[in-house]
Amino acid sequence: MGSQWGKDKTYLKAKQSGYRSRAAMKLKEIIRRNPVIRPDDNILDLGAAPGSWLQVLRELTKGVIVGVDLNPITPMEGVITITGDFTDPAILARIRELMPEVNGIVCDASPKLSGQRSLDQARAIELNSQALNVARLVLKQGGNMIMKSFQGEDFSWLYNQIKLDFYSVRTYKAQTTRKGSTEMYIIAKNFIGNQPNPEEFSLDGSA
C-alpha cells in the first residue's frame, strides 16, 4: 500500500490524522458541504470496514453509532460493530435492538471489482438498492442518508428510486475522488417514511 499511496496527499493526510483509510477525508468533505448529521443523531454505517467513516461519525455525533460489514472491524471506543450481511434479517433485528431509532444511514460500500466497468457498476447499483431497502425498514421519518454509487446506465434508475423515498436528493462528487473514477455520492435528506411492515417486506424490493 505504501508504494501505491505514498504520494497520495489525501491518504497521507488521513494517516497523519489517525484515520484508518483515505475515505475518512471524503466523508469530512461531504459533511462540510452537505451538513446532514446532527450532534445527537444515531447513525448506521453499512459496509463500514475498515472503520474510517465510523471514526469521523464518532466526532460528529454523541448518538449511537453502529457499523456493519461482512469483514470484522477492529473495535473502537464508542462504536458498536456487527460482522455480517446487512441484508440478513437477523442482522436487521440486531440493529433494531441496538438502536432505538435510526436518524441517519451512511453507506460507502463497494462490491468486489472485476475490472469490467459495466459489470462492476451493475453490482454497485444492486448493493445500493439493498442499502436503500434497509433504509426503508429502519430509518426514522425525516432521517438522512449518504450513499456511494457509480455513474453508469443504471445510475438514473437508482437516483429516481431514492427520490421516491426522500424529499430532497442530490449528487456530490468529492474533490478527493481519484481522477477518472465514476464514483458519485448521493445525498438524500428528509426520509418520507411510510415504511412497509417488516414482516411483509423482502430485501429484494418486492412485497
Q: Diameter of the chain by CA atoms?
A: 51
Q: Is 108 flagged in the annotation as binding?
A: yes
Q: Is the peptide bond before 75 cis (omega within 30 degrees of 0)?
A: no
Q: Is 120 annotated as a binding residue?
A: no
- According to DSSP, the residues that pair with 144 across neighbouring strands are 104
Q: Is 53 annotated as a binding residue?
A: yes
Strand order in the sheet with 102-107: 80-83, 65-69, 43-46, 102-107, 139-150, 183-191, 166-172
Q: Is 204 annotated as a binding residue?
A: no
Q: For residue 185, list its beta bridge partners.
A: 148, 172
Quick one: cell of 88?
440478513
The single-letter code of the amino acid at 97 is E
* 205 marked as binding residue: no
- Catalytic residue IDs: 148
3-class SS string, 3-63 = HHHCCCHHHHHHHHCCCCCCHHHHHHHHHHHCCCCCCCCCEEEECCCCCHHHHHHHHHCCC
**Numbered residues of the known binding site for S-adenosyl-L-methionine:** 51, 53, 69, 85, 108
**Numbered residues of the known binding site:** 51, 53, 69, 85, 108
